[in-house]
Chains A and B, each alone.
Chain A
């Protein structure tokens, strides 16, 4: 065995998967989006999530080499590749979150490790433990203000910013990937609580869920 044991989590055959919100949608419902919906939710499950830890310089070089994507140069930064399908977000001075289309994570980790050589880093697949919820709509901002004490005013939370912050009584990653779209990266086990909270907070604005 090598020093680090990578693990391909995906089966070779088609297997039924369940997203972290599968049960929640069934139990708590998913109100339809209507013309009067001022807040819309959309789960983007089954993506590849890798937690990168290590030195910024070596990781940045490797990431640029493998994905053509730079690490954010500033704390709270969030970079996307040209397609917008791959992103890397600053989480801590030595920690970043890489999100890529589902299934890419294993080979990506392999290529990153090859590029990194002997550098001391950690790359951990956390794809099964997280999901992404998009929040959009003219009252999305009001819903954000209900669950987080972080300042989410567009003037201080521009596109390309992401933070790990409080969400009601737990925490979540909140990021802004476009002018109209906010994303929550949430832990699987807390996802139901967050989903119920969002439906509740959005009720007065006619929240709808994309199915």
Chain B
């Protein structure tokens, strides 16, 4: 076969790429071409690009090694613009598209001239394991500086500095059987499960399903293997009970068969998701799958052999060589030497030979290799050197030769003369490691299987492992095993699997000889002095590093891992872990199962943050709750405050002489309006709970500290709720609607918690009380009209008799407001005359607007939460959660009047209030503070001391809980908790500030305005 001139390594035929169409792309600024069907890696190899990265620690030149998720070197930075940058994409998993822009993630200033490369050329001891810990730790303060440069030289990609233009989302899925892996085992499992009627999801990380069958030499039912893949996929796709997800990686296997699948939906099309008729579509999607049963058909990763300079570009996995030739029509060199411990890898040499290139030799570590593939190689005249292995690759930026020698595996030494073979490519295979990462996520420790020389997953409930993932390798066996696994899983979910449902195609049987155990290849020199023999290419961990770690006393494989970084990060030990364990075992004189394995963690391959976040970002980050009057607030320029998830108007700045009021100016104006005229507040957010039943009154008496026995219908009472520790939890008013019917209000933030609290006490402690609770928070819209003119305004639009004698303070009445049926409550949180109007929320906007139609002449002013806070604080009304913090009792608040110690049933918190600690007289108690300088507004949270002369650390005796400027007092004022404060009226306290100033304040009562309460009773 001949090659295309533009892509020197592209074969004229073969593979599933579309040679009639050309795609352009750039790598490190250089323009190249490829074809649809290529991955970025196959296109780079087709173009003869050897050097794709610099290594993490030693900055050594690196090339493409693998063809799948296990690729350690070709980890790319993708994106044509700053906003579309994506780090850590494996070139082997990135489909080529027109206009793709890729860069190496490592290499500073560039991959060809790397400033750090001198480090890699120095002797091995220069950067031993623990190098950074040992070298850069002193002085400790400099670590941040060192780290910046270490990161830059050893980086693994970078985040974009501009907002991502794409969207990502989540989709929840359920199925009976989740099959992970769409190779021969996975497809067979999916077919048998699907044929039983079970709901099946098949996820495969590649561009197309089929796994190893896509580049297999095997035939199924006397057809090329990929033909059966097509048939199988057609059958699955035609079934309603099957979901096929390609380009979808099972990245994490969580508890209870909850598996997250990362589907890359548009990454194969462009670096930003194309729109469909102008509509956005998610770039990638995280499927959150709750599976009844999981079938792990994750196959194997081929293990490379560990020999000197095995990281030079031109060193590839044997299987990858086959994949590039057979699937992509790319041959990554001219002259190949294969070094292997098994028959299966001979396919690489056969494929290479059939592509018309020279196979220089096969170094087979076994004394007497036999088997059909070996015979085929010999028949083709390929030289097979038995009992030997490549001990070292030679070359600078690309392999130029292979040093082959006879080795004694048991004695771990070279036993014959070294022959140097001229070649540009080395394929190696040390056998196959079952891909057990997902099984490992479940917490199950794998067990070593000596027969297949690999760790296989431990059996866990709800999981069936099949095919290569459990060490079953011959294709005929894999298919049968897969069909059985699918049947087992479906049966476990209660489906009947007929015999014919397990039908699988007939595979040609290829007899293979036994493999031998070989991990690290001995060198003439001892490991510590031999050319670097890489175990983990991505993290630059060498055999010498592992040996050194064991010499330094790291015996546990988990410690060796952390000391050397083997299997860290995005790699998760896909290529190197078993070799590393084998080397540690050799150094420690133990067996591999004795050394054991490390734990693989999610994610299997990197998942973009966008997919993790999904749509829970920006305007959809968190729910925003709106009242029925929200639009009016927006249109009237309100600034909003978040109270829980509610958006409450904070203040309404007005434009005065072309300038928008500051918050202070607006709040002063709003406060004056309420104290002098009339204001209106949207109080709809307060929690409202409808309580019905003959046990309601008794129940209230048990959850509130005060008395409810005599509250008559038509009346309202303030209530204080404690936790069982006696600390104030929530407060609000509760109205008696009927003898067995009450309406409780809670704080805005406490509504859900209070309802749960009531239900909990009812269901667990007092089920004998006949009472039901139902939230009506959203049903009623609430508007507070308050101020001296409130009665006059309301009277204009209501049929309720507002006379002060018949509708008293703390009464409620029914009637019509603006023609709408309303309940009106005469309660006050401002200290002024106030009416709280409640109407069904769908009518609220009409009522609100009608109030404004009539309110102009009275100066009706909308006010927000800030003004509400000032006005209530002037009256000494607490806000639960601001003036209390879970450590404040009703007595600490001075609210003895709201405690019914003599109630017959011991209400929640009563017992706690008789504890010696809650009876102390030096507890922090709520008081008012009046700054000596009226212009000072104390800081909320500021600490209080009695003695300003005391040296630091000073004795702190309390803190400010609420502090505002009062337009009524024309002074700052505050609420605070102070030790023994109730007995310290008139005393001076001090508030030292960060800038050195010390404020003085006088302890006063908490009611700053109208302490007699005359204004609300008019």
Contacts and interface: CB of A to CB of B under 8 A. Distances in A.
Given A1-B714, A54-B772, A189-B626, A142 B171 contact: yes
Nearest to B627: A189
B792 interface: no
A194 B814 CA distance: 34
Interface string A1-39: 111110111111101111110110011000000001000
Interface in A150-172: 150-151, 153, 155-156, 168-170
B459 interface: no
A139 to B, nearest CB: 12
A17 B631 contact: no
A60 to B, nearest CB: 17
Contact of A15 (B280, B738, B776, B820): B820
A15 B626 CA distance: 22
A189 B625 contact: yes
A192 B776 CA distance: 18
A45 interface: yes
Contacts of A142: 171
B490 to A, nearest CB: 15
Interface stretch (A61-69, A70-78, A80-88, A200-208): A200-208
B842 interface: yes
A170 B199 contact: no
A20 to B, nearest CB: 8
B177 to A, nearest CB: 14
Interface in A103-132: 120-130
A186 to B, nearest CB: 10
B713 A1 contact: yes
8 contacts: A2-B739, A10-B821, A16-B846, A27-B631, A124-B690, A189-B626, A204-B282, A206-B279
Nearest to A46: B842
B290 interface: yes
B321 to A, nearest CB: 40
Given A53-B774, A129-B841, A188-B779, 5 more contacts: A7-B821, A18-B844, A53-B772, A124-B690, A146-B169
A148 B821 contact: no
A129 B779 contact: yes
Contacts of A45: 842
B627 A124 contact: no
B203 to A, nearest CB: 15
Nearest to A169: B623
Nearest to A23: B631
Contacts of A44: none
A53 B646 CA distance: 28
A8 B821 contact: yes
A18 B741 contact: no
The dominant DSSP class at the B interface is: mixed
Across the A-B interface, the 6 shortest Cβ-Cβ residue pairs: A129-B778, A122-B772, A129-B779, A9-B840, A128-B841, A128-B840
Interface string B622-665: 11111110110000000000000010000000000000000000
A128 B627 contact: no
A149 B169 contact: no
Interface residues of A, number: 67
B751 to A, nearest CB: 11
A85 to B, nearest CB: 19
Which has the most chain A C-beta neighbours within 10 Å: B620, B692, B846?
A: B692
Which has the most chain A C-beta neighbours within 10 Å: B199, B290, B781, B843?
A: B843
A50 B608 CA distance: 45
Nearest to B646: A189
Given A122-B690, A153-B199, A169-B623, A128 B279 contact: no
A193 B628 CA distance: 14
B988 to A, nearest CB: 46
B280 A204 contact: yes
Interface in B810-854: 814, 816, 818-821, 823, 839-846
B920 interface: no
Contacts of A197: 615, 620
Contacts of B529: none
B738 A206 contact: no
Contacts, number: 182
Interface of A: 1-5, 7-13, 15-20, 22-23, 26-27, 36, 45-46, 51, 53-54, 94, 120-130, 142, 145-146, 148-151, 153, 155-156, 168-170, 187-193, 196-197, 200-201, 203-204, 206
Contacts of A46: 842
A10 B839 CA distance: 9
Contacts of B628: 18, 20, 128, 188
A10 B843 CA distance: 9
Contacts of B110: none
B616 interface: yes
Contacts of A17: 842-843, 846
Contact of A128 (B170, B276, B770, B780): B780
A23 B630 contact: yes
Contacts of B170: 146
Interface in B719-756: 737-741
Interface in B259-283: 276-277, 279-282
B152 interface: no
B24 interface: no
A146 B842 contact: no
Interface string B18-48: 0000000000000000000000000000000
A8 B277 CA distance: 49
Contacts of A191: 626
A23 B846 contact: no
A125 B780 CA distance: 10
A157 B373 CA distance: 54
A15 B846 contact: yes
A51 to B, nearest CB: 5
Which has the most chain B C-beta neighbours within 10 Å: A4, A151, A188, A203?
A: A188
Interface string B981-1011: 0000000000000000000000000000000
Interface string B158-192: 00000000000111111000000000000000000
Interface string B780-820: 11000000000000000000000000000000001010111
A124 B819 CA distance: 23
B692 A122 contact: yes
B694 interface: yes
A22 B169 CA distance: 27
Given A128-B781, A151-B290, A203 B280 contact: yes
A101 B300 CA distance: 62
Which has the most chain A C-beta neighbours within 10 Å: B172, B281, B685, B738?
A: B172
A153 B290 CA distance: 13
A13 B821 CA distance: 11
Nearest to B276: A204
Which has the most chain A C-beta neighbours within 10 Å: B279, B627, B780, B840?
A: B840
A204 B692 contact: no
A30 to B, nearest CB: 15
Contacts of B765: none
Given A190-B623, A197-B620, A7 B814 contact: yes
Contacts of B624: 192-193
Contacts of B780: 128-129
Nearest to A143: B171
B173 A145 contact: yes
Contacts of B970: none
B620 A168 contact: yes
B692 A129 contact: no
A23 B445 CA distance: 56
Which has the most chain A C-beta neighbours within 10 Å: B628, B694, B779, B843?
A: B779
Contacts of B737: 1, 4-5
Given A23-B631, A146-B169, A189-B627, A9 B277 contact: no
A169 to B, nearest CB: 6
B861 interface: no
Contact of B626 (A2, A23, A94): A23
A11 B630 CA distance: 22
Contacts of A125: 776, 779
